Amino acid sequence: MKTFLVSVLGLICATVSTTLLTASCSLPAFRFGAQQTMPALPRQPGHALRIAQLDFGRQASYGLCTDPACPRVTPKTMASSEPGWSVATKPAMLPSDHSTMPPAPASTPVVPAATSPSQGARLLLQFSSGASTLDAKARLALDRMLPAARQARKITIQGRTDNVGPTQANRTIALARALQVRDYLRRRMKNANAVIAIDAKGSCCFLSNNDTPQGRQANRRVEVVFTYQG
């Protein structure tokens, strides 16, 4: 008799446990503090079930779902502290030859100095390598200095070269450049009382270094100094 009662009670307990377990697994959703029946989200084959929040605030509820059907957190971005300003994502590209220096001009540059009756004036004429003749720009620069030259008491013409070539050859070129300027001034300033002095030195008295074409170009020159007093 006792054995029969024990068997019946065990059967009843097993039935009740199975019923409760089945009911708990079939609940599709739950809410903190109150029960609510919600349909489960569709399950995708091959994806594991997980619990996800299905709403927000007081309406928040949770349910079982599978990826990719589960709700996802929206990515957040920080607001710009200064609206209207944009940040470049890539630096501006410079031309490939940005670092190279522009080529030297083909014509002979002429740099005239300002005229000062009390302190004198200076004119700088530049020449091509090995050249001693005056080009059109050099003649124009000398013509512009004629009013100052006519008032000068002394005109010193300094012929100079770079350091390329033999020293004696550079001396010859320096003298030829100075004589070209002297002869031109004499033709343009007839009956002038100014004393003209020649100072020709080759491979000497450089304005710049001779390591670059630009430096050598600056050193191939004639400097004309106009003195008004003394």
Cα torsion through 227, 151, 183, 203, rounded to 10: 20
- Write the pLDDT tens digit of every residue in 8-33: 566 565 665 555 545 444 444 444 44
Q: Is the pLDDT of residue 128 over 60?
A: yes
Which tens digits make up the pLDDT trace of 143-166?
999 999 999 999 999 999 999 999
Residue 191's pLDDT is: 79
Sign of CA dihedral 218, 219, 221, 225: positive
Residue 226 sits at φ, ψ, to 5 deg, of: -105, 125
pLDDT tens digits for 184-218? 999 999 878 899 999 999 999 999 999 999 999 99
Q: Give the Cα separation of 71 and 32 in Å (integer).
A: 19
Query: What backbone phi and psi angles, to 5 degrees, belong to 65?
Result: -155, 170
d(CA 110, CA 113): 10
Burial 63-73 (b: 16+ CB within 10 A, else e): bbbbeeebeee
- In percent, how much of the chain has pLDDT > 70? 49
Whether residue 29 contacts residue 61, with contact meaning beta carbons closer than 8 Å, is answered with yes
Domains and CATH numbers, the chain: 29-72 (no CATH), 110-227 (3.30.1330.60)
Query: How far apart are alpha carbons 44 and 67 in whole angstroms?
Result: 7
Three-state DSSP class for 193?
coil
